[in-house]
Amino acid sequence: ILNVEQSPQSLHVQEGDSTNFTCSFPSSNFYALHWYRWETAKSPEALFVMTLNGDEKKKGRISATLNTKEGYSYLYIKGSQPEDSATYLCAFEMGYSTLTFGKGTMLLVSP
Amino acid sequence: EPEVTQTPSHQVTQMGQEVILRCVPISNHLYFYWYRQILGQKVEFLVSFYNNEISEKSEIFDDQFSVERPDGSNFTLKIRSTKLEDSAMYFCASRDRGGDTQYFGPGTRLTVL
């Protein structure tokens, strides 16, 4: 059974704060690590697909790093805004197929 | 921007009834998926579909479940005889050939009474 864990479970920050979350996953049979941003009643939005050890990707104020040897990825948000409030999901992919998700980190950014 | 759509957004049904959840994947995508999330739990894989057949399925996807691509645009998930424990948010996703990203729809919330 594949185990994908995310921490923290939830996070409440003030506008302007920078924050980061962790996703841990199996270090064997790795193909890709996906990050999604999910707002209630909307489609989960793909943020990053990371495939190479040491990968760093950036999209605006959001960035992510990947360590496949130790099995973790960090997602960073610089200068959080209220519109960043959402659940952030990571998903592990083994061999170009299905996704195994973590439980998500729920972020709330207060003005 | 192309997107995956799902209907209905919310379905309420009685235990034992059949339900069909509908999805329109992104045009020209070739790989299709169903996932579900029971409230408070992780998103779980149900089934993947490629070239008009199931390519992979999880233990959850038993004989009560079936998928179909009845025409060139729709992708459906049928639950033959719903149980209380089938209550969940059901997500459809699609992926392009050669692409790494699975694009998700907004989900259908199924409530079985």
Structure confidence by residue, pLDDT tens digits, A1-28: 789 999 999 999 999 999 999 999 998 8
- Give the model confidence (pLDDT) of B66-95 as tens digits: 999 988 789 999 999 999 999 999 999 999
Residue A8 preceded by cis peptide, ω within 30: yes
Contact check, Cβ <8 Å, A98/B48: yes
Do A43 and B43 count as a contact with CB atoms less than 8 A apart? no
Question: How far is residue A26's CA from residue A2's CA, in Å, rounded to a whole number?
Answer: 7
Residues from chain A that touch B43, judged by Cβ atoms under 8 A, are 89, 91, 99, 101
pLDDT digits (tens, 9 = 90+) for A83-102: 999 999 999 998 757 899 99
**Separation between Cα atoms, residue A68 and residue A11, nearest integer Å:** 25
- Kindly state the average pLDDT of the residues A41-62: 95
A100 contacts B107? CB cut-off 8 A: no
Chain A residues with CB inside 8 Å of B33's CB? 98
